[in-house]
């Protein structure tokens, strides 16, 4: 039996990017029960990819209750629906066999990974204050993509002078704006810039200088995306809601490395249940951005543990 439940989790603060603001994380929780054992997974439908809670739930409702992970890859496209079901099937197998998912996937035992902490888009003054509150964190990720980005970046660097900074423009810049900003990004010690140009309009990245690493987010979904990224990007951001689950995410990580890309593992704004499988993908990658639970005012029971070592692998009581 496959069940789908829409749930919402309050955010600790309003979260804003260049596309808008939100006060809660709206997710779909999928449970698959077979022979008295239940596995579960979570996805975050994303409007940028024409996904809604209703449409994704409808996709899942078409699946046969006995579907396998292999068949799932053929029946559903990469996206949120396949992600929740794929991760639920991994969890189901782990619980049925008494093994952890990392063992089933023949991975090394996972450990904690240092994660970014995201500062949402705000006035320079408020972003400086937020950066100062989180200056103890080793990596801060800044949401940009507007005409006032330099003032915001300067403010964050002033508020957190020792933190590593990565920047996410969320497709908000043009090639000209990025070229103008790049020297200042270097001056302020920015380590990487994520998706500066709109997906589908990023050809100029192959023509202009890339003085700091550029990461593909909206331009990279699964392994089929990789060929079109060569020469334009230096890194790819793997998110399970884009790949359609852990199965494809692990395959994409290896294919990306084989193609010469560095790897980032990111997330939508979701709960610890959504992050748990992504922690396995994040082992040893260049950048981990799995801070979703840190942005929430409420989370799942047995949430992921975050401390100075980073985000820790999930306990079996949560997932996997």
Question: Residues with Cβ < 8 Å from 252, sequence gap 6 or more?
Answer: 222, 223, 226, 236, 238, 243
Strand (E) or helix (H) holding 72? helix 69-75
CA 284 to chain CA mean position, Å = 16
Asked whether 213 and 204 are in contact (CB, 8 A), the reply is no
Pairing, β 310-311 against β 306-307: antiparallel
Strand partners, 69: none
Nearest to 107 by CA among 288, 283, 320: 283
Please identify every residue annotated as catalytic. 143, 239
Strand (E) or helix (H) holding 272? helix 272-281
């Amino acid at each position: 039996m496959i069940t789908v439940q829409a749930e919402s989790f309050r955010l600790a603060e309003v979260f804003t990017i260049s596309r808008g603001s939100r006060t809660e994380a709206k997710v779909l929780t999928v449970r698959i029960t077979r022979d008295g054992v239940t596995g579960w997974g979570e996805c975050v439908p994303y409007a940028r990819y024409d996904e809604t809670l209703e449409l994704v739930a409808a996709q899942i409702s078409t699946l046969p209750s006995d579907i396998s992970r292999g068949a799932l890859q053929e029946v559903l496209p990469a996206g949120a629906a396949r992600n929740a079901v794929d991760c639920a099937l991994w969890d189901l197998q782990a619980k049925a066999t008494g093994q952890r998912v990392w063992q089933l996937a023949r991975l090394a035992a996972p450990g904690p990974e240092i994660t970014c902490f995201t500062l949402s888009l705000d006035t320079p003054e408020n972003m400086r204050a937020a950066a100062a509150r989180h200056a103890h964190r080793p990596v801060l990720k800044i949401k940009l993509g507007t005409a006032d980005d330099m003032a915001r970046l300067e403010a964050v660097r002033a508020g957190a002078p020792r933190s590593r900074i990565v920047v996410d423009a969320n497709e908000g810049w043009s090639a000209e704006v990025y070229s103008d900003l790049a020297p200042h990004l270097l001056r302020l010690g920015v380590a990487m810039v994520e998706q500066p140009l709109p997906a589908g309009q990023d050809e100029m990245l192959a023509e202009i200088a890339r003085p700091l690493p550029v990461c593909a987010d909206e331009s990279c979904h699964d392994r089929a995306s990789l060929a079109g990224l060569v020469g334009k990007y230096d890194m790819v951001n793997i998110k399970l809601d884009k790949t359609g689950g852990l199965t494809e995410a692990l395959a994409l990580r290896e294919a990306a490395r084989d193609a010469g890309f560095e790897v980032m593992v990111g997330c939508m704004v979701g709960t610890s249940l959504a992050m748990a499988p992504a922690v396995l993908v994040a082992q040893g990658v260049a950048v981990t951005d799995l801070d979703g639970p840190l942005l929430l005012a409420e989370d799942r029971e047995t949430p992921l543990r975050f401390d100075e070592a980073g985000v820790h692998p999930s306990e079996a009581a949560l997932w996997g």
